[in-house]
Structure 1
Amino acid sequence: MTINADPPRDDVKSTALADPPVEVPAPAVKRPARWALLRRLHFYAGVFVAPFLFIAALTGLAYTLAPQLNDVVYGHELYVDRVGDTTVPLADQVAAARKAHPDGTLSTVSVLDDPEATTQIAFSVPELSADEKVHTVYVDPYTGEVRGQLTTWYNATPLQTWLDGFHRTLNLGDTGRMYSELAASWLWVISLGGLVLWIGRKRAYRGERAARRRALMPDLTAKGVRRTRGWHASIGVWIVVGLLFLSATGLTWSQYAGARFGAALDAVQGHAPALNTALGESDAAPAGGHHGGGAPTGERETDLPAGRTLEEVLAAAGPMDGRRDITIPADAGTAYSVAQDKPNWPVSFDQVAVDPVSGEVTERVAYAEWPFLAKLTKIGIRAHMGELFGVVNQVLLAALALGLLCVIVWGYRMWWQRRPTRADRKAPLGSAPPRGGWRTLPRWFLVVGIPVTLFVAWAMPLLGVTLGAFLVFDLLVGAFRWALRTPAPNLTER
């Protein structure tokens, strides 16, 4: 039996004896001058601002649990024991709340579309007005039983108010607001800077299939700082859109940048229209009434004005789902205000003014008629608070917070891993990227970049102040190192 086979050739090595493939490093890529400047800015911002971002992410993560914590801590106040077939008239519920809370002025009666929810009846008291808080009494709508009372802030329970204040101000008042504004001001800069650096590094591996496949995933085969940088960059890219959203929405109600944003909305008439509740003299309700309720308030003898019942006021306002807040008229010349609060998608925040005597609608402000910027701002804020898509919104925010925490930890770990470890060059931490990148920037970049930077610094004052501080610090470091390298002149020689 003959086997046809090619004879062995000396010029061809056996596959079994071939050398293993060697990973060829990416070719050196000439970076534009702005690359070095961006790396140095990203480094400084990451080192000095990251602690503020870490606290904001940690407190924001805690706030995402607020709805569930509310149900656990305040379940007795917020919910009824048993859903009944009929409800007690709202006037009787107000009377029960007044009996339990004889002080203060009745301000709001809130009815929720959840059949298990209690009716929330708020009383304003002078000692809480400075903090915009009220005493809220919770009444079982089926039995008229008072379930309890809490000090609330814009319908938020004490625990939710504390978590919100901890996230926004660390519960330190206006001074603490600067921490969250500083974090929000730099978050978009760090996020966009990191994205640009990631894109630039990805281009360095153009044409390599494995590198392209790892573009959005960390390289698990890498070691040391390369592996840490892979996790830092990949997770950062996955969450960059969410971080930009949190930065933008967080700045809208900040102390200084928020004031600039509010002024811009005023200039373009981008605020939500206000509801006019003033009545003409012929429409004014007389003092006193037949609904009863307790202590005298305002110019009336009872908590509720004479005329239509609260149920009739709700019916006149029209169909509304979600929470309905009925603001009680402060005097005879003011109408009822019924404000819808439905933050879940599709959102709706209609407002209606109802004459307490005739029951006619005197004005209606529909959410559909709000300016686009007002709608965008409202939706953005509610999404930032985790209310737009319910539990899904909470999960997304929690994932963003956890991702940001991890990215920050990996960033500091890279700083640690890049420290010199040689015996003659040991250092406790890694050095910053090289200085002097701005000297090689093209003139057009400076002509465009400087005015843009000045405008951003004006729009976001805390960003501008800290950016100036970084520049001064960098100049001082450079001057100090230059002085160490320059030998002192010998003044004894002439």
Structure 2
Amino acid sequence: MSVTELHGDRAPDSPATPPDAARPPRRPAPLTALLTRLHFYAGVLVAPFLLVAALTGLAYTITPQLDAALYGDKLTVTAVGGQPRPLADQIAAARAAHPDGTLTSVQPGAGERTTQVVFAQEDLGDRQHTVYVDPYTAEVAGQLTTWFGSTPATTWLDDLHRNLHLGDVGRHYSEIAASWLWVLALGGVVLWWRRRAAGRARARHLLVPDLSAGRGVRRTRGWHATTGVWLTVGLLFLAATGLTWSRYAGANFGAGLDALRAGTPEISTALDGAPPATGGGEHKHGATATAPAADPATYDRVLGAARAAGLSGPVEIAPAAQDGAAWTVAQTDDTWPVAYDRVAVDPAGGTVTARSDFTDWPLLAKLSKLGIQAHMGRLLGPVNQVLLAALALGLLCVIVWGYRMWWQRRPTRADRRAPLGAPPARGAWRGTPWWALLVGVPMVAALGWALPWFGGTLLGFLVVDALAGLLARRRRSVPVSPAPAGS
């Protein structure tokens, strides 16, 4: 027996073998096949939610510039003067311009910023009425209906991104998008890595698309995958921070912070030395308590005590919700390095009765707060806006390329023509190792409980896929009646 025959190679004089016959198509590993099918279905069915979230999020990134263009005459002063007028004078001017409602907070102006005097009104629901006052002249610069500090334009875009202006029902769309975004991102990276490990793509093509590939699905897949790899960290960040504000997953997140005592700590406003209330994981845009009428001069006294205690920069003064309690003054500087220290001040004596510094917050509370500010484009200023816009544009490209691959994979032969590409073959889970199922099923169940919209839609995918497979098997098993004799 020759060496050639021993190794199974073709002898020099043997007939040529077609490449397809010599190298049968590679069957993917069960886990890869299962992940491929999940990635395909989630991409096709969830991508519309992600598309809307990316478009609305992209629009939201320009809100600082939009506010400056639309409301610059209210948010900023005409000319920076010398020493600001007392808050009592500014509040009196705001009250004269808007005599209705209950004063709930004051944000003193400084530099180019006007003072914001906020009033709550029952007919506005969760909105407030904000009067903007020039701190140097105590003249009213304008008034707006706001949502915890957000202008009407920003509020409109925020509602569009969160719920498409459909209220609680619309919030489901954004929660579905955030619940699946991390699954699609990580799943795509794993699939692309395994493809490279299997020898079908060079290592550098993990981060650089294969430009040598001809037109068609291969080139589209290269752009889809490599762009997704570059975006992965940012997409995981958006998914995690978005879920903390979602309706159901966000409630579970808040409950988890409470259980771990890792929520934002409350500051005690009691004047009798009572301990502060337990912290909570719920995220709030601002205080909503309605306070009794107070002497405007008290705001100057409370602000002076807070400044003496070291609270610099922009702050918000909130009067007590009832008599006999301390007022709170909180720093509101969202730009890094952030300033979120708070003090409670006795309005009568002007003494600090309690303090809560950002450095003392639990780690999870700090990460949650910073993550939300970065998600909203505030933490790093214009750089933050550019990064969010790049993520949104990149995600839009990945989605378009994904649908394009679906179109390019469609059969085009005359006897097999189809409008779209077929999904990956089902049944991969039957070849999955038992240990993977033993670990994976409880883990997925736990994730489905923590992220209800992920678990619900995943269950829906499985049910629909199982029914489709059952119908397909039934059609194949129906016997074909023989043609009548003589036909």
Give TM-score scaled by structure 1 length: 0.86
Q: 1:67-118 deviations in whole A, cap 9, x for unaligned?
A: 11000000010001101122111110000000000011111110255x0110
- How far apart in 1 are the matches of 2:466 and 2:323? 66
Partner of 1:171: 165
Contact 1:335 1:356 in 2 (8 A): yes
Partner of 2:156: 162
Partner of 2:249: 257
Amino acid at match of 1:462: W
Q: Which moved more, 1:342-351 or 1:481-490?
A: 481-490
Residues 26-425 of structure 1 correspond to what in structure 2 (within 5 A)? 31-113=28-110, 115-128=111-124, 130-131=125-126, 133-205=127-199, 211-222=202-213, 223-280=215-272, 300=293, 302-304=294-296, 309-321=301-313, 323-425=314-416
- Report deviation, 1:46: 0.3
SS of equivalent to 2:425: coil
Amino acid at match of 1:309: R
SS of equivalent to 1:342: coil
From the superposition, tell whether residues 395 and 27 of structure 1 become closer, same or farther in structure 2 (CA, over 3 Å): farther
- How far apart in 2 are the matches of 1:240 and 1:399? 12
SS of equivalent to 1:80: coil
Contact 1:317 1:338 in 2 (8 A): no
Contact 1:386 1:397 in 2 (8 A): yes
From the superposition, tell whether residues 280 and 205 of structure 1 become closer, same or farther in structure 2 (CA, over 3 Å): same
From the superposition, tell whether residues 307 and 87 of structure 1 become closer, same or farther in structure 2 (CA, over 3 Å): closer
For the pair 1:463 / 2:454, whether they are aligned, the reply is yes
SS of equivalent to 2:206: coil
Contact 2:264 2:361 in 1 (8 A): yes
Gaps of 5+ in 1: 1-21, 282-296
Contact 2:305 2:352 in 1 (8 A): no
Partner of 1:15: none
SS of equivalent to 2:85: coil
Contact 1:272 1:374 in 2 (8 A): yes
Q: Identify which of 459, 463, 469 aligns with 1:472.
A: 463
- Report deviation, 1:308: 6.0
From the superposition, tell whether residues 458 and 330 of structure 1 become closer, same or farther in structure 2 (CA, over 3 Å): closer
Q: Which moved more, 1:434-443 or 1:480-489?
A: 480-489
Amino acid at match of 1:164: D
- How far apart in 1 are the matches of 2:205 and 2:323? 70
From the superposition, tell whether residues 485 and 308 of structure 1 become closer, same or farther in structure 2 (CA, over 3 Å): closer
Amino acid at match of 1:382: Q
Contact 1:108 1:123 in 2 (8 A): yes
- Report deviation, 1:490: 6.6
Give the CA RMSD over aligned residues: 2.2
Give TM-score scaled by structure 2 length: 0.87
Q: Which moved more, 1:329-338 or 1:437-446?
A: 329-338
- Report deviation, 1:154: 1.5
Contact 1:352 1:363 in 2 (8 A): yes
SS of equivalent to 1:214: helix
Contact 1:40 1:432 in 2 (8 A): yes
Higher-Rg member (1/2): 1
- How far apart in 2 are the matches of 1:372 and 1:26? 55
Partner of 1:17: none
From the superposition, tell whether residues 122 and 308 of structure 1 become closer, same or farther in structure 2 (CA, over 3 Å): closer
Partner of 1:451: 442
- How far apart in 2 are the matches of 1:145 and 1:227? 62
- Report deviation, 1:30: 5.7
- How far apart in 2 are the matches of 1:348 and 1:331? 27
Partner of 2:279: none
Amino acid at match of 2:103: L
Contact 1:106 1:303 in 2 (8 A): no
Contact 1:316 1:354 in 2 (8 A): no
Contact 2:109 2:115 in 1 (8 A): yes
- How far apart in 1 are the matches of 2:218 and 2:109? 54
- Report deviation, 1:28: 6.6
Q: 1:141-190 deviations in whole A, cap 9, x for unaligned?
A: 11111000111112111111111110011111000000000000000111
Percent identical residues: 58
- How far apart in 2 are the matches of 1:87 and 1:307? 14
Q: 1:16-37 deviations in whole A, cap 9, x for unaligned?
A: xxxxxx9xx9997663211111
Gaps of 5+ in 2: 1-18, 274-289, 483-487
- Report deviation, 1:242: 0.5
Contact 1:97 1:121 in 2 (8 A): yes
- How far apart in 2 are the matches of 1:472 and 1:163? 36
Count of matched residue positions in the alignment of Structure 1 and Structure 2: 445
From the superposition, tell whether residues 308 and 400 of structure 1 become closer, same or farther in structure 2 (CA, over 3 Å): closer
